[in-house]
Amino acid sequence: MLESEATIIYANEFALLTLVKNLIGNACKYTPKGGHVLVKTLIDEDSFTLTVEDSGPGIDSSEYQRVFDRFYRVGGDSHHSTVVGCGLGLAIVQHIVKLHHANIILEKSTKLGGLSVSVTFLQKTQAVDLHLHQFEQEWEGNR
């Protein structure tokens, strides 16, 4: 990466690693053998976007909001029902996104056909600085 392309975001390191692990982990779990997972970043002057796409079965758009509910698991087809999990991964991701004043978008992957999840962090702001202290206290209390 060229220095001129860099942007600075302020985030709790453990939370950011958890977010990345959960997004990539979900994509890998729901992608069938021989499928593909694509991880890409987009950096511009005021934000950083991480996108994870997969060639799995995807999620019906009517369920996009529900997947952020604790313990909710997408069901209905044979592939979703065979994947091991407890339905907390995207709930945790959404919590991290909210506490960092970031944005998350779920949509059908146009490249791979499965799910595409994009998280956009804005460049450092005072609001994020103040909120990170609260986040760290809350995060430590939930571990």
Where residue 39 sits, what CATH number does that domain have?
3.30.565.10
Answer yes or no: is 25 within a domain. yes
Please write the tens of the pLDDT for every residue from 54-83: 999 999 888 888 888 888 787 654 445 556
Please check whether residue 133 is in contact with residue 11, taking contact to mean a CB–CB distance below 8 angstroms: no
pLDDT at 2: 40
Q: Give residue 87's pLDDT.
A: 78
Q: What is the rounded CA–CA span in Å between residue 28 and residue 1?
A: 26
C-beta atoms surrounding 96 within 10 Å: 23
User: Is residue 3 assigned to a domain?
Assistant: no
* pLDDT tens digits, one per residue of 71-122: 878 765 444 555 666 678 899 999 999 988 899 999 999 999 999 999 999 8
The whole-angstrom separation of Cα 8 and Cα 1 is 13
Predicted pLDDT of residue 3: 46
The Cα 61–Cα 105 span in angstroms is 11
- Supply the pLDDT for residue 130: 52
Which structural domain, as residue segments, surrounds residue 106? 14-142
Domains in the chain: how many in total?
1
Is 7 within a domain? Answer: no
In a domain, 1, yes or no: no
Q: What are phi and psi of 125, to 5 degrees?
A: -135, 165
Model pLDDT for residues 1-49, shown as the tens digit of each residue: 344 456 677 777 888 999 999 999 999 999 999 999 999 999 887 888 9
CB 51 within 8 A of CB 118: yes
pLDDT for the residue 140: 66
**Does residue 5 lie in a domain region?**
no
pLDDT value of residue 38: 97
The answer to whether position 6 is within a domain reads no
